[in-house]
Structure 1
Amino acid sequence: MTKGNVLRGLATISFYAADHAAAKKWYTELLGMEPYFNVPGYAEFRIGDYQHELGLIDSAYAPEGATKGPAGAIAYWHVDDLKATLDHLITLGATAYQPITDHSGGSGSFVTASVVDPFGNILGIMTNKHYLEILTQKA
């Protein structure tokens, strides 16, 4: 292994759902698109500026010992309008997990919130100035 970019970028985030069909329907509505890959027990969406993958896995395939409730690391997806996105998620049936929190000392450059989707997964959302800077540099 070489030094430097050990972690090159987000490839796939996987969420488990006991009701896999309902999860596909919910995320299809949220994202405004059908999954690009869809087989029994697994569906995957490519989303955002870098086509990151969000996978939905039937919880029957969860690893042994997997938690049944919200837990673990929170991945934050950049959004353009944090409040509107949070409100939309709650309208679709998600529940608040962490409130809108400014981590930038009031500048608004790093602001997060998170919800628990109807299937028990934590979905983080964020406005992040560095994300926008990198996007501009890549353009």
Structure 2
Amino acid sequence: MNEGVKTIIFPVKDLDGAKRLLAVVAGGEPYMDEPYYVGFKIAGQDVGLDPNAHDKGLTHPTPYWHVDDIRARYQELLDAGAESVQDVRDVGDGKLVASVRDADGNILGLIQPAS
């Protein structure tokens, strides 16, 4: 099952500066504020700031599709011609993420929520 894009992650170099600006746009403080990730909920959309994203190959804002079987969907994308950017990995408490690059260089992310 695909629940659509529910998360967008921005790679940032200045986490504090980006957090201040996004707090203005969001109209409030983040729900998660850690040195490795700052997350805001805006009208049901999860918007994240990741200071380590550049090291993971993410150079632009990346949409993340929420899926129920990340490994199958990731392999289907690779089989369809996508290039792996980040293999499936657990980012904590069973939440899995992965990302691929299409032929035009766009990065597509996948998230499987913890079960």
**How does the TM-score come out when normalised to structure 2?**
0.49
Larger radius of gyration: 1
By relative contact order (CA 8 Å, sep 6+), the higher-ranking structure is 2
Which one has a larger percent strand, Structure 1 or Structure 2? 2
